[in-house]
Amino acid sequence: MTMQEVRGTTAAARLAALRATMQAQGLAAVVIPSADPHLSEYLPERWQGRAWLSGFTGSVGTFAATHDEAGVWVDSRYWVQAEAQLAGSGIALMRLEPGGENLVDWLATRLREGDVLAVDGETCSLVAADQMQRSLAARGVALRTDIDPLAAIWPDRAGLPARPIGPADLTADTSVRGARLAEVAARTRATGAQWHFLSSLDDIAWIFDLRGQDVDYNPVFLAHALLDDAGRGTLFVAPGTVSDTLRQALADDGIALADYEQVRARLAALPDGSRLLFDARRVVVAMIEAAVGNLAAPRLGIVDAINPSTLLKSRKTSDELARVRRTMVADGAALCEFFAWFDAALAAGEPLTELTVDERLGACRAAKPGYVCASFATIAGFNANGAMPHYRATTEAHASIAGDGLLLIDSGGQYRDGTTDITRMVPIGTPSAAQKRDCALVLKGMIGLSRAVFPDGLRAAMLDALARAPLWAEGLNYGHGTGHGVGFFLNVHEGPQSISCYSPAEPHTAMREGMITSVEPGLYREGGWGVRIENLVAAVRGPATEFGEFLAFETLTLCPIDTRCIDLTLLDDGERRWLNDYHATVRSRLGDAVHGAAHDWLIARTEPV
């Protein structure tokens, strides 16, 4: 959905239409998550209902309304954006923060015995539905998941995407799919389940070694999958999306194709008493209700556990890591070409905007072999715009780049041989002493985590403090996580690991060898500027001692960190040494990949400090 489409009619008018529907259906409240039947991060247009209804276009947020009140719950990354986009809509910004009122508590204080709350079971995770049910049942409030609150008021709603599906690697070993199916089946059997159901698109793409174009930025396709404990099963996809050749290859691996819309009927036909494995955090309630019937007295045995493929795909093979390293050279070369052009254009006084950054950087990446698309919407935020962690410039609202300050650029690419994600700070004119100090503190945090050595299997959340310590020491903090997993030519945000003090330190979040993770501490001065510096790292084998096996991080990203933004006096000797070693590696790895002005820029920006 474009911004223009969102603004085509007023959010206030849509809210009034929603309330009329609520009245007609006897509903006291509705909840509209930012989700689709696969609980994706980036949503096909059909399921961008929260954005269509409220006018808030951020990628994360939950809408709820009663007949008298309405709000959108968002975390600190979106507060500034949401406040601006919700203004005048009659929909309040609800800030998700420690000690604040969460959505379930808000509903509990407004709904009374006999009231009915509706949430579309096609877009609500089983975990979220259970939480609402448990909280509200004690108050006599009923939860209905068989109603789509938007169905009657969204007349031009998009249909399902149905783009072609193809192999992940056009030259890949055809035995990959068979081996993955066998490993998932072995882990399914180990749980005691006879069946395994998946809706998460990255898991499905990885298991079947396929890719698609149904979702912006992530090379996945709409599908559900049902597998048995022998590795055979059914892939539910839109008709016409799979070639005859691929259909036969799948059949050779024991996989049949069925229409995307047939999944519920197939789940309902599973034999009574058999056991079904699924991850309750990654399936919607409508699918599980179709399979088990009454959740209070299910007809199937339920095994709720993390999808085996989630951990398997998070641990990149040696071949995948080698390919990612090659991709980092291509991506780094594109970045050098961009930054060399940008510095020259800035010095020449050419008119530059945040949109210019997005366009030119995208063009530099697109020229590289194996490039497919951006891995997320480029964030180019100058000064105050950089203080919004998920800011995106649009033709309607963007800044010119002129004067003095800091430009934050967070970008990435999807390549056939890997996925990239990088953030760099760029000085514009003369950054202030305060801005350079903030950049130094963030860099100290990034270095602190990047050079960590830690026990194999340490829960990822426990690493977060290493990046925050330099900021905490100055009474500073940031409201987002420090690191997310990154897929191999897959989702730029993947689990199970999450380096974040806001995430639970659960057993399945352990850091393991082969995982690729971002390291991206930040600092944001609302109305002033924002700072974030980000590299991708791989967890690699570290020392083995009498105290056990240890891991370390290998930095994968190859692009200079602009020291003109940094108050270098705040770096200690070890941090300077890390920075110089990193720049020596960047110069060595990229030296033969860039030429002319880009090579000159690389040499200048990798001089030792």
Supply the CATH number for residue 222's domain.
Answer: 3.40.350.10
Q: Are residues 597 and 563 in the same domain?
A: yes
Considering the entire predicted model, what is its pTM?
0.93
Would you tell me how many other CB atoms lie within 10 Å of the CB of residue 574? 11
What pLDDT sits at residue 171?
Answer: 65
pLDDT grade for 170, boundaries at 50, 70 and 90: low
What pLDDT sits at residue 80?
Answer: 83
Spatial CA neighbour of 520 closest among 402, 383, 379, 339? 379
Question: Residue 159 falls within a domain, yes or no?
Answer: no
What pLDDT sits at residue 186?
Answer: 98
427 Cβ contact partners less than 8 Å away, ≥ 6 residues apart: 406, 407, 562, 564, 565
Q: Write the pLDDT tens digit of every residue in 195-222.
A: 999 999 999 999 999 999 999 999 999 9
Whether residue 7 is predicted with pLDDT greater than 50 in this model: the reply is no
What pLDDT sits at residue 1?
Answer: 33
Dist CA 14 CA 53 (whole Å): 6
Whether residue 249 is predicted with pLDDT greater than 80 in this model: the reply is yes
Q: Are residues 579 and 478 in the same domain?
A: yes
Are 406 and 432 within 8 A, CB to CB? Answer: no
Q: Are residues 347 and 464 in the same domain?
A: yes
Q: Write the pLDDT tens digit of every residue in 472-482.
A: 999 999 999 99
Question: Residue 161 falls within a domain, yes or no?
Answer: no
pLDDT grade for 97, boundaries at 50, 70 and 90: confident
What pLDDT sits at residue 427?
Answer: 98
Q: Are residues 440 and 502 in the same domain?
A: yes
| Three-class SS state of 197 | strand
Q: Mean pLDDT of all residues in the chain?
A: 94
Q: Are residues 95 and 175 in the same domain?
A: no
Token readout for 424 is 């760099």
Are 40 and 156 within 8 A, CB to CB? Answer: no
Question: Residue 110 falls within a domain, yes or no?
Answer: yes
Question: Residue 160 falls within a domain, yes or no?
Answer: no
Whether residue 58 is predicted with pLDDT greater than 90 in this model: the reply is no
What pLDDT sits at residue 418?
Answer: 97
What pLDDT sits at residue 99?
Answer: 78
Whether residue 8 is predicted with pLDDT greater than 60 in this model: the reply is no
Q: Are residues 309 and 319 in the same domain?
A: no
Q: Write the pLDDT tens digit of every residue in 390-434.
A: 889 989 889 999 999 999 999 999 999 999 999 999 999 999 999
Last residue of a domain, one of 256, 290, 313: 313
What is the tally of structural domains in the chain?
A: 3
Token readout for 172 is 């890949």
pLDDT grade for 36, boundaries at 50, 70 and 90: very high
Token readout for 585 is 């590696």
Question: Residue 156 falls within a domain, yes or no?
Answer: no
What pLDDT sits at residue 239?
Answer: 96
Percentage, residues of the chain above pLDDT 90: 88
Read off the CATH number of the domain in which 386 is found. 3.90.230.10
Dist CA 83 CA 73 (whole Å): 11
- In Å, what is the CA distance from 154 to each residue of 17, 32, 90, 243, 478? 10, 13, 19, 33, 37
Q: Write the pLDDT tens digit of every residue in 220-237.
A: 999 999 999 999 999 999
Q: Are residues 246 and 112 in the same domain?
A: no
Last residue of a domain, one of 289, 313, 337: 313
What pLDDT sits at residue 75?
Answer: 85
Residue in this structure with the two tokens 């069946």, named with its chain if needed: 195
What pLDDT sits at residue 295?
Answer: 87
Q: Are residues 330 and 464 in the same domain?
A: yes
Dist CA 609 CA 577 (whole Å): 9
Token readout for 185 is 């089946």
**E strand residue ranges, 107-220:** 116-119, 142-144, 166-167, 195-198, 210-211
DSSP class per residue in 135-161: HHHTTT-EEE-S--TTTTT-TT-----
Whether residue 46 is predicted with pLDDT greater than 60 in this model: the reply is yes
Q: Mean pLDDT lowest for which of 4-8, 286-290, 477-481, 571-575? A: 4-8
Q: Are residues 421 and 501 in the same domain?
A: yes
Domain that holds residue 208: 166-313
User: CB burial class (10 A; 0-12, 13-18, 19+) of residue 187?
Assistant: buried
Question: Residue 149 falls within a domain, yes or no?
Answer: no
Dist CA 487 CA 201 (whole Å): 12
Are 195 and 229 within 8 A, CB to CB? Answer: yes
Q: Are residues 19 and 109 in the same domain?
A: yes
Last residue of a domain, one of 313, 334, 357: 313
Q: Are residues 264 and 117 in the same domain?
A: no
Q: Are residues 356 and 344 in the same domain?
A: yes
Instruction: Tell me 76's DSSP state.
Output: G
Dist CA 577 CA 554 (whole Å): 16
- In Å, what is the CA distance from 469 to each residue of 89, 341, 442, 525, 577? 40, 36, 10, 18, 19
Dist CA 517 CA 484 (whole Å): 5
Residue in this structure with the two tokens 């089983």, named with its chain if needed: 126
Torsion sign (Cα): 584, 589, 595, 597: negative
What pLDDT sits at residue 3?
Answer: 35
Question: Residue 208 falls within a domain, yes or no?
Answer: yes
Dist CA 430 CA 115 (whole Å): 59
Q: Write the pLDDT tens digit of every residue in 136-164.
A: 988 999 999 999 999 999 988 999 998 99
Spatial CA neighbour of 589 closest among 558, 564, 550? 558
Question: Residue 479 falls within a domain, yes or no?
Answer: yes
pLDDT grade for 294, boundaries at 50, 70 and 90: confident
pLDDT grade for 96, boundaries at 50, 70 and 90: confident
Q: What is the dihedral of CA 317, 318, 320, 326, to 10 degrees?
A: 160
Residue 316, sorted as left (phi over 0), alpha (psi -120 to 50) or beta, turns out to be beta
What pLDDT sits at residue 4?
Answer: 43
What pLDDT sits at residue 296?
Answer: 86
